[in-house]
Structure 1
Amino acid sequence: MGIKERKEREKNTHRELILISADKIIKGEGLDKLSIRKIASDIEYSPAIIYHYFHDKEEIINTIIKRNYEKIIRTLSSLQVSEYKPEDKIKYSLEKYIQLALEMPEEYKTILLNNSTEVLKHTSLLFEGASVKRKALNILYESLKEIYMDKSLGDNFIELTAQIIWTSTFGLILKLIIEKDIPSEQRKLLIHHHISLMVEGIILRKTIN
């Protein structure tokens, strides 16, 4: 291994250690408690060393957010649903998405409630054309197109429908994260009822001429 490759590997190792520490602090104490000094203390680095690898705390946060969001996208994209009816694809994908979000509550809040320009490049999905540019929304959009393929509904209607389903699900997830003392059975009922209402509404719209 050459000197250049070794230095690059060392750089990546140091960056990864910093990111792991920052992620741990966010999970344990919340995003507002994260600081360069706290990361430095945790991994026994000086703050100056951390600034050598990251421009500022914002860059560390944005890197973690993008990683976690990409994890969600990979999970949704890997779902084996090709043999399902489109409405069942939506049910399964929504259920899996909710489960994944609830398994990483602090990370989820940090990702989806972040309004920095850099993060919104990956997470915004209410703009026109989002169904093409956002993989997560596209999964839902394509299933809706299958359902409505025999209807004279434009792409804009289908995209708007996907956006509303997505944001409604986002709202439920946030409330379940915030109201964390809800009994597990009630949580299951809420999730099931939400998904049923979403899919039943989609099917109902299909029957309207």
Structure 2
Amino acid sequence: MSNKIKAAKNKLIRDTILDTAKKIIEAEGLDSLSIRKLAAQVGYSPANIYQYYKSKSEIIEAVVQQGYQQIINSLRIERLDFDSAEAEIRYKFGKYIESALQNKDYYKAVMLSEKENLLKQTSILKPEFCRNPSAFKLLQELIERGQSQGEFENGNSQTKAKIIWTATFGLIIRLIIEKIDNKEKQLQLIENHFDIIFGGIRKNRQ
């Protein structure tokens, strides 16, 4: 077997393991994942699983990086027709909320976890603890742009970004936990959410 074929086979197996682990986490929660259960669903022995991942923690971390990155990527939609920083934040974070609600079981399982390896992926109040704070920085940069353009009041942009992000997280979690699945109701709450947030940081408050 050539190295290229072997590498492709290994990647396929690793991806299968992660996809199966994600389904278990979404359906039953993080604590329900075990190497034995994972192996049974994949069709391998536990020893086979350990050939590709060193531990359950490594699998969980890989699933988080993969799944959370998918949600975060919704913030990186490229559009050039925004007429204000507020409009861009509303649009991109609206897409973020939409993506989170489409992956609600996984989002809840990951974002409510206190496990340190997961907090390294999701931490916002301590961005220095986060391994990849690029999405948080995007929000902070948009706030700073709004300040420079005279849209938002001056002040600590990092603190404002933390408040917006955590408030948005709270909204998503309540929508999930309270099973608000009606699209019209979701949109109404999301718009009210942004109205209140931006009403508090606009330079010329109305």
Q: TM-score, normalised by structure 1?
A: 0.85
CA distance in 2 between counterparts of 1:152 and 1:183 reads 35
Query: What is the aligned counterpart of 2:204 among 196, 199, 207?
Result: 207
For the residue of structure 2 that corresponds to 1:53, the secondary structure is coil
Aligned partner of 1:69: which letter? Y
1:84 match: secondary structure: coil
Q: For structure 1, list consecutive stretches of 5 or more residues without a partner in the other structure.
A: none
Q: Which residue number in structure 2 is paired with residue 10 of structure 1?
A: 9
Distance in 1 (alpha carbons) for counterparts of 2:97 and 2:80:
17
Contact residue 35 and residue 56 of structure 2 kept, 8 A? yes
Which residue in the other structure is 1:58 paired with? Answer: 57
Q: Distance in 2 between matches of 1:148 and 1:167?
A: 20
Select between 56-65 and 186-195 the one with higher mean Cα deviation.
186-195
The one-letter amino acid of 1:85's match is S
- Structure-2 change in CA distance of 1:81 and 1:178 (3 Å): farther
Q: CA deviation at 1:176?
A: 0.8
| Aligned AA (2:176) | I
Q: TM-score, with normalisation over the residues of structure 2?
A: 0.86
Measured on the aligned residues, the alpha-carbon RMSD in Å equals: 2.5
- Cα separation, 2, equivalents of 1:128 and 1:82: 30
- Where do 5+ consecutive residues of structure 2 fail to align? none
Hey, what's the Cα distance between the residues in 1 that align with 2:107 and 2:154? 33
Partner Cα separation in structure 2 for residue 175 and residue 181 of structure 1: 8
CA deviation after TM superposition for structure 1 residue 207, in Å: 3.1
Q: 1:63 to 1:178 in 2, by over 3 A?
A: same
1:27-66 per-residue CA deviation (whole Å, 9 max, x = no partner) reads 2333232221222121211111111111121111110001
Conserved 8 A contact 1:95-1:195: no
- Say if 1:94 and 1:195, in contact at 8 Å, map to a contact too: no
- Equivalenced residues, count: 202
Taking the aligned partners of 2:114 and 2:140, their CA distance within structure 1 comes to 24
- Percent of aligned pairs with the same amino acid: 37
Counterparts of 1:153 and 1:189, CA distance in 2 = 29
Query: Residues 1-209 of structure 1: matches in 2 within 5 Å?
Result: 3-81=2-80, 83-127=82-126, 134-149=133-148, 150=150, 153-154=154-155, 157-181=156-180, 183-203=182-202, 206-207=203-204
Q: Distance in 2 between matches of 1:32 and 1:111?
A: 11
- 1:90-145 CA-to-partner distances (Å, cap 9, x unmatched) read 111221111111110122123322333333333212236689x6121122212211
* Alignment partners' CA distance in 1, 2:118 and 2:29: 18
Q: Mark the CA change 1:181 to 1:98 in structure 2 (over 3 Å): closer, same or farther.
A: closer
Q: In structure 2, what is the Cα distance between the partners aligned to 1:3 and 1:146?
A: 52
Is the 1:65–1:110 contact (alpha carbons within 8 Å) kept by the matching residues of 2? no
Q: CA deviation at 1:24?
A: 1.6
Q: Which has the higher contact order (CA 8 A, sep 6+)?
A: 1
